[in-house]
Amino acid sequence: MEYNLLCCNVGRRGRLMKDFRQSLAGKGLVVGTDNWSVAPAIFLADKMYVTPKITDPHYMEEVFSICEKEKIRAVGTFIDPEIEVLAAHREEFLAKGILPLCPSLHTAQLCMDKYLMFKHLREHGVRTVLTYRTLADFQAGLGAGEIDFPVFIKPVKGSGSVGARKVNDMETLKDLFAEGAHDYIIQELMTQGDCDADVYVDCISHEVVSVFSKRKIETRIGGASKTISFKDPSLFAFVQEVAAVLELSGPNDMDFFYKDGQWYLSEINPRFGGAYLHAYGAGVDFVKYILQNMDGKACTPEIGQYDEGVLMLMYDDVVIAREADLLRDYHD
């Protein structure tokens, strides 16, 4: 039986397609989808499909049709808004013998709503960035001495750093809230130890089996573009503490800060992160774990099994294709 992997809404993640195909090494196919026929990464999959947008009422019908046609064994997405969509159909995927590389629906909702995640982590005693949902709550915290300017604001359900910014004073903060461009949360400005970790949570045992941590050297919109690997046993232990209060499955991109000698969780994207390329380049292969999980086998933990001081330096690349090779686009 082939180990065919469906990657939904792959967009510009072409190098991930190449790495997945290399990891599968002929054991299966990488099938890529997107809602636009000129998404570069679909051309780097073994097979490509153009699907409706995830908001289309027939979207999941199309996904299940592709799964049946291509004998898909595992499915995941590269975009945050689709995580909840797939998570809502976890049981249906499992009933069809397909491994869903996504968390439970409740955990997916927590990961998407940053204030709900803050409350959940606080209730379970997990360190996270101090967060306020409303301007009134922030003003009360400011008056109580819990927080001070400068602060950091971002959309409560944002993605790709859109709308995220530092704010230095109350006048600017009030103006931004009044503009209503985003539904903001207000957070303590964390400035130390900015790093992230690629974490694989076993889909069978639901234990953390791999953690690859890297410090950010340069960050562009949407993620880190230059990183360097490091190891810290206290961070590895904290990752396991975080995972223990959530229902995660498969690849996760976790962001952290360091304050007063302790790690704090910033947020979780329960999918392959763009900087997973660094982990793979340093010898940490999540597809290996996915293959074992496809067969119903739990993986042996290999936390921190990589070298420190390995750099990832992103650069642009291109796909050259013929117009005749484009698939038909869906139209609203």
Q: Which residue has the tokens 């997405």?
A: 77
Q: Give the tens place of pLDDT for each residue, 103-155.
A: 999 999 999 999 999 999 999 999 999 999 999 999 999 999 999 999 999 99
Backbone phi, then psi, for 87, in 5-degree steps? -60, -35
Q: Measuring CA to CA, which residue among 113, 27, 65, 10 is closest to residue 290? A: 27
**265 class by beta-carbon count within 10 Å (0-12 exposed, 13-18 middle, 19+ buried):** buried
% residues pLDDT > 70 (the chain):
99
Neighbours of 63 (CB within 10 A): 26
Give the per-residue pLDDT at 158: 85
Instruction: Give pLDDT, residue 332.
Output: 58
22-68, pLDDT tens digit by residue? 999 999 999 999 999 999 999 999 999 999 999 999 999 999 999 99
pLDDT level of residue 219 (50, 70, 90 thresholds): confident
Q: Where are the alpha helices (DSSP H) in the chain?
A: 14-24, 59-69, 80-87, 90-95, 105-112, 114-123, 135-143, 170-179, 233-243, 276-281, 286-294
Which range has the worst mean pLDDT, 29-38, 152-161, 169-178? 152-161
Higher pLDDT, 7 or 274: 7
Which pLDDT score, from 0 to 100, does residue 222 have? 66
* Rounded-to-integer distance, Cα 183 and Cα 110, Å: 16
What are the C-alpha distances in Å from 51 to residues 10, 55, 59, 71, 330?
11, 11, 7, 17, 7
How many angstroms separate the Cα of 94 from the Cα of each of 77, 79, 87, 102, 209? 16, 21, 11, 12, 21
